[in-house]
Structure 1
Amino acid sequence: MSCSEPGKDEPREVEYKDVTLVEIEDDIEPPPPGLDTHFKSVQEWLCSICDAEKPDKSISIFKIGLFESSDGNMLYLAGVNKYENGDTSHTRVDFEPSNMYCRLPESGYKDLNREQLLVRLTGELKAFTGTEKFRNSFLATSNTIIFESNGQVIWANK
């Protein structure tokens, strides 16, 4: 009498496939040279975005980032969605507000090193998500808001 299960020792056919996953992400363009914005604070800039136009479609992730240059530092905000097609995913910029960029005012930011600047901006962005303006805006309908410059999740829809 055999102790093995019936059919267990029968040869099986195994197929191996080589799979390549491709991820494409739209670039967010830097601001045009000489662009000057009129915002006195990051909160004023974000409020203006909330009060202006709304995205035409639902946005999964809002990205906020920082362009740094000798001409000054500028924040940007853009809405992106991820689309899957077979082995390819494409993260597409689906929303760029008319006030997409905000030049950081020199007062309050000019004497900070990069690490201090990112910590301060992260705090200001998180503070904005606690406001009534944010809670009633289209920004609060996204899944996530990310500060790309340090990878911090600023807000997540739970």
Structure 2
Amino acid sequence: MKILTLVESLGLGGTERVAQNFSIGYQNLGCDVKALTINGLGERTTYLNAHNIEVFDGKKDLTASIKSIIKWNPDIIHIHRPGYHNEMNELLALIKSDHTKVIETNIFARPDYSNTSHLVDVHFLLSNWCLWKWQQWTRGLNQIGAIIPNLLD
């Protein structure tokens, strides 16, 4: 299974750490994993490279990164974002194929009301409270949510 991790950057923040840990965990389960950053690399790139996980720097060359990812054709795209519409929506529209499923770690339980929100198949929320809050905001939108706590090492 091919899994692409999509994250703002691979700096030292908590979201970045969780993206790193999911990527390494997926690889440990036998998946072919790659990562795409939007706003540059960061310190955590070293950890992914040490596990032979290729990291695309979207800030350096987004067009070349997208072409490589489309050719690779991931089965799953796992995005890490605050939940609401941002530049990841446009990237999903470019990268997602007919067979690709998109999962989101929604770090702030914010809803995405944009016209590209349908691109996300499953939303992971960090706690019961976050799931409840997100469900109140997305009532009637037929979106799927589940609780997946952050993976910390």
TM-score by length of 1: 0.24
Q: Larger relative contact order (C-alpha < 8 A, sep ≥ 6)?
A: 1
- Structure whose CA Rg is larger: 1
Q: Would you tell me which structure has more strand in proportion to its own residues?
A: 1
TM-score by length of 2: 0.25
Q: Would you tell me which structure has more helix in proportion to its own residues?
A: 2
